[in-house]
Structure 1
Amino acid sequence: MFKLYSLVIFGSIIWAQTAMAEVNLNTLTNDNPTQLKSIAVLQSLKITDSQNQFHAPYVHDLKNKYQVRSLFVESKDLPMVDIQLTFNAGSARDEEIASGLHGLANMAAKLIDEGTEKYTANEIASAFERVGAQFSAQAYRDMFIVKLRVLSDPEKLEPALGMLLEVLNHSNFKKSSINLVLSNTQVGQKQIQESPSRMMGVQFYRALYGKHPYAEPIPGTQRSISKITPEQLKQFSNQFLVAQNMNIAITGQLTPKQAQQLSERIAGNLKQGEKAKALAQPVDKSTFDIRHIKFNSSQAHVMMGQLGTTRFDPDRLALEVANQMFGGSGFNSILMKELRVKRGYTYGAYSSFSFSLAPGTFSLSYSTRQDQLFDSIQVAHQALVNFIKQPIDQKQLEETKAGMLRAFPNNYRSNANINAQLGSIGFYHQPSDYLSNYPKLLEKITVQDVQNAIQKHLHPERLTIIVVNNTLDKPALEALLKQDLNPQNLPSTPSIEQTPKTVIAPVAKEVIDAPASSPDDEPASI
């Protein structure tokens, strides 16, 4: 019996090998998945550039009769619809309701689906769950974003849309719900006090913006949100969560005509209201502003930066390229090479721009050992000074642009990503073909464009520096930074030979400005 079983197995193997040998690669058809459609491609790795090209989706700029900008991308792959309503109603609008009400927009986002006059929070949640819909609301500094994802089948879409409109128009913001958020925020306050990077981020914005609406954390503070009342939340909703203060993004299995009808139903069934007024301009610094936060830790945490520019600035793309070169591209960046690769001062050092309705920020951050604090700050600052003053390297520029172009398709890798981009494009008044034109715009960026942009917008002589550690000699640090601005003192920068070749423990988590989990300032940005 065993011999017979062995012969059967052996015969099966011989038959399989013969069958595989007889497969003719030239006769494989595309409609038979059992014949390994990819084999012909695998025989040759000569994949042309045209095979690797990614094409941005076509964006329809719908003619909404209510004059509410509505962008739509048709996607036939899934029977789903993504809807994003982006209101000019972020935390920057908090004090337009009443002074000191920081965290009002964030509170409204948390409580908007907690009940209306007709429905309880459980009934609202059940209504969305019955049709498999996902609803969410989130406040950022500029934006208040409401999202709905649901099947495109009218039997699912209609009730989900009806409940979305019910929530936006009739949320009652109960006092009991506010008290629950207050209780949860106490936990967040404790977390922020235990996180040097979070404390650093909060202090950075406060130091940089002063009395400007961007200065305070998006969720506010325990003191500020304890003042919020249901009436103030309703006033916020009635003033800012209105049709004329939003744009609409739709992606999914609809026709352009259906998408337009959908956008008009949304715009027509919300309170019309008015656009929010323009934000004030923040006041820039004229010299260094060094702030210290005492914190008992084995490491020192550093953040330095300045006011940047707006989303509408024609230099924005050149500045994004510059940031990738300086500190936004990992080990290939100048900042990482100077601080980690050459000197081992830190595990990671990164820089970033934020572009907003009002001027955003440019910042860099890292952590290091206490005994390396001054040397690391001097090296990072000197790297910025040199980056601005010295000619941009053509080869590095081309490599950076190529990397950005390769990463570009990630911005529309899914319907959710596409819809987020549409919301950002609509909010910042960009042309509907911006996704398609982005590669061309990026390609046009020259060395001179980058050089002009950084010399115009970056000012290493008036940075705000936040240090979180045990002790800090502010006058000595300021004197050190001023030396970097004098070319005669360039040799004072610590040499590579003088520094240890070890790498310290990982840098703390990314800086966020909230006592609890907090959104980034730009939910979708390219």
Structure 2
Amino acid sequence: MIRAVFSSFAFVLLAALPLRAEVEIQEVTSPGGIHAWLVESHEVPFVSVEIRFQGGASLDAPGKRGAINLMTGLLEEGAGEMDARTFARERDALAASYRFDVSSDSLAVSARMLTENRDRAVGLLRQALVAPRFDQDAIDRVRAQVISGIRSDATDPNAIAGQTFDRIAFGDHPYATPISGTEASVNALTRDDLIAARDRVIARDRLYVAAAGDISAEDLGKMLDTLLGDLPETGAPMPGPAPLNLAGGVTVVPFDTPQSVAVFGQRGLDRDDPDFFAAFVMNQILGGGGFGARLMEEVRVKRGLTYGVYSYLMPMDHAALIMGQVASGNDKIAEAVEVIRDEWARMAEQGATEDELAKVKTYLTGAYPLRFDGNGPIARILVGMQMEGLTPDYVKTRNDRIRAVTLDDVRRVAADWLDPAHLQFIVVGQPQGLETTN
């Protein structure tokens, strides 16, 4: 109940905060040498902290797929002298909130805490990071939850499509397999495997931290050393670049469903590519802008083939893609695939129009300040910027970079990067008029 009360209280406070794109970012280094970014704001008596450990589930040891995912799910299931129930009671008594998530590229820790309880909330979170218990009853409970998710994914067309795409695209790289592992690999994991998994990813040599809210730079430095100073210095080495085995064409995965799901993708740009902003704007016109985008206009509005279709840039740590997804009736998906490929080619050959570019610039620059709508979102933005190698002034220059994209830039990146011949479609369902071509 206390946790629910804090959530409601925090929502009211967040709603009262001004929207701030012109945030003032301080770079903080703790006495122990831990770096962080801070947006200091004393309007509301709480602070949000975002922590990232680069590498994520891609650092699973050979033969231990799913270990880091399972370990992450256990970080809040007891620590130090506290079992899972005692830990939960302590957290709720402090009106603190912790969240632990893992992806292919990072393990994320999100924390919110009231100023008056900050020291004790930090101490409790520290226990979860440096001394998780991994009690057998907790392992068995969370393992069952993971396996339930794996079984659910096996009957979910969207999950099947995504996993099939990854398996084809990434070969023997960790990206090729689900971070949750398989039922067999998860069942085989032991407590020792989970301890080893923690040590592979939770380490200071891959650490990024951001904070926003009611805390000074000096106090944040002290907090960083208390919270993170006792972590191991180094973790497992990062995997190398992922291959991209995308020959183009269609792969059909038969599945008994009245509606087919299609995932499509091709090679993309790294986040630090000089053309990334132009490509970002180009994709917004092509498939990223909802009802204003070409794919939505051609596939849904004009032809009624789907309720939604979209594309997006997907720069990861070890690969980069331009991706998209659509769902349509089995009798319509073949036409949807054809229209998407035609629009891919039309953008590559002709680029965009002045009107499309102007509208997208207005939208992208106007929407950006709305992302800074509270301490939590600000801290998440800041830690993401660090991981992408951006500098603190990015929040002040980002919209200028969008405005600087010209029509010639959009046409050039579309011609250079969009590759309809190598656009790979994975279609899950019983599509009429579509067969596997590769």
TM-score (structure 1 length as normaliser): 0.75
Identity of aligned residues (%): 24
Between 1:64-73 and 1:157-166, the stretch displaced more is: 64-73
Structure 1 residue 319: Cα displacement: 2.0
Structure 1 residue 435: Cα displacement: 1.4
- Supply the distance in 1 between the matched residues of 2:23 and 2:308 (Cα, whole angstroms): 35
Structure 1 residue 54: Cα displacement: 5.5
1:451-470 equivalences under 5 Å are 451-470=411-430
Structure 1 residue 275: Cα displacement: 6.0
Structure 1 residue 445: Cα displacement: 1.5
1:17-416 equivalences under 5 Å are 55-94=21-60, 97=61, 99-153=62-116, 156-268=117-229, 270-274=230-234, 277-285=237-245, 287-416=247-376
1:64 to 1:455, Cα distance in 2 relative to 1, 3 A: farther
| Residues 309, 356 of structure 1: 8 Å contact kept | no
- Supply the distance in 2 between the matched residues of 1:53 and 1:222 (Cα, whole angstroms): 45
- Supply the distance in 1 between the matched residues of 2:280 and 2:377 (Cα, whole angstroms): 20
- Supply the distance in 2 between the matched residues of 1:77 and 1:385 (Cα, whole angstroms): 51
Letter in structure 1 aligned against 2:89: S
| Residues 70, 143 of structure 2: 8 Å contact kept | no
Structure 1 residue 407: Cα displacement: 1.1
Letter in structure 2 aligned against 1:63: T
- Supply the distance in 2 between the matched residues of 1:433 and 1:382 (Cα, whole angstroms): 39
- Supply the distance in 1 between the matched residues of 2:147 and 2:199 (Cα, whole angstroms): 29
Structure 1 residue 408: Cα displacement: 0.5
Letter in structure 2 aligned against 1:356: M
Structure 1 residue 370: Cα displacement: 2.3
Structure 1 residue 286: Cα displacement: 6.0
1:515-526 equivalences under 5 Å are none
1:146 to 1:226, Cα distance in 2 relative to 1, 3 A: same
Letter in structure 2 aligned against 1:256: A
Match of 1:417 among 377, 382, 387: 377
Q: 1:429 is paired with a residue of what secondary structure?
A: coil
- Supply the distance in 2 between the matched residues of 1:54 and 1:271 (Cα, whole angstroms): 33
Q: What does the per-residue CA deviation read over 1:196-228, in whole Å, with 9 as the maximum and x for residues that have no partner?
A: 122111211222112111122222221221222
Letter in structure 2 aligned against 1:123: T
Q: What does the per-residue CA deviation read over 1:78-100, in whole Å, with 9 as the maximum and x for residues that have no partner?
A: 10011121111411111xx2x23
Between 1:396-405 and 1:224-233, the stretch displaced more is: 224-233
- Supply the distance in 1 between the matched residues of 2:381 and 2:270 (Cα, whole angstroms): 18
- Supply the distance in 1 between the matched residues of 2:226 and 2:365 (Cα, whole angstroms): 37
- Supply the distance in 2 between the matched residues of 1:286 and 1:235 (Cα, whole angstroms): 34
Q: 1:160 is paired with a residue of what secondary structure?
A: helix
TM-score (structure 2 length as normaliser): 0.90
Q: In structure 2, what is the equivalent of residue 41 of structure 1?
A: none
Between structure 1 and structure 2, the one with the greater Rg is 1
Q: What does the per-residue CA deviation read over 1:214-264, in whole Å, with 9 as the maximum and x for residues that have no partner?
A: 122222221221222211211122232122221111111122222233223
Structure 1 residue 276: Cα displacement: 5.3
1:332 to 1:283, Cα distance in 2 relative to 1, 3 A: same
Q: What does the per-residue CA deviation read over 1:285-316, in whole Å, with 9 as the maximum and x for residues that have no partner?
A: 36325322111222222221123233332322
Q: What does the per-residue CA deviation read over 1:322-346, in whole Å, with 9 as the maximum and x for residues that have no partner?
A: 2211111111101011111121211
- Supply the distance in 1 between the matched residues of 2:20 and 2:359 (Cα, whole angstroms): 19
For structure 1, list consecutive stretches of 5 or more residues without a partner in the other structure: 1-51, 480-526
Letter in structure 2 aligned against 1:168: L
Structure 1 residue 383: Cα displacement: 0.6
- Supply the distance in 1 between the matched residues of 2:156 and 2:264 (Cα, whole angstroms): 18
1:243 to 1:326, Cα distance in 2 relative to 1, 3 A: same
Letter in structure 2 aligned against 1:101: K
Q: What does the per-residue CA deviation read over 1:490-513, in whole Å, with 9 as the maximum and x for residues that have no partner?
A: xxxxxxxxxxxxxxxxxxxxxxxx
Q: In structure 2, what is the equivalent of residue 496 of structure 1?
A: none
- Supply the distance in 2 between the matched residues of 1:149 and 1:54 (Cα, whole angstroms): 19
Q: 2:331 is paired with a residue of what secondary structure?
A: helix
Q: In structure 1, what is the equivalent of residue 7 of structure 2?
A: none
- Supply the distance in 1 between the matched residues of 2:274 and 2:224 (Cα, whole angstroms): 30
Number of matched pairs: 421
Q: What does the per-residue CA deviation read over 1:338-360, in whole Å, with 9 as the maximum and x for residues that have no partner?
A: 11112121121111122221123
1:256 to 1:185, Cα distance in 2 relative to 1, 3 A: closer
- Supply the distance in 2 between the matched residues of 1:357 and 1:67 (Cα, whole angstroms): 25
| Residues 123, 227 of structure 2: 8 Å contact kept | no
Structure 1 residue 65: Cα displacement: 4.1
- Supply the distance in 2 between the matched residues of 1:186 and 1:276 (Cα, whole angstroms): 26
Between 1:367-376 and 1:437-446, the stretch displaced more is: 367-376
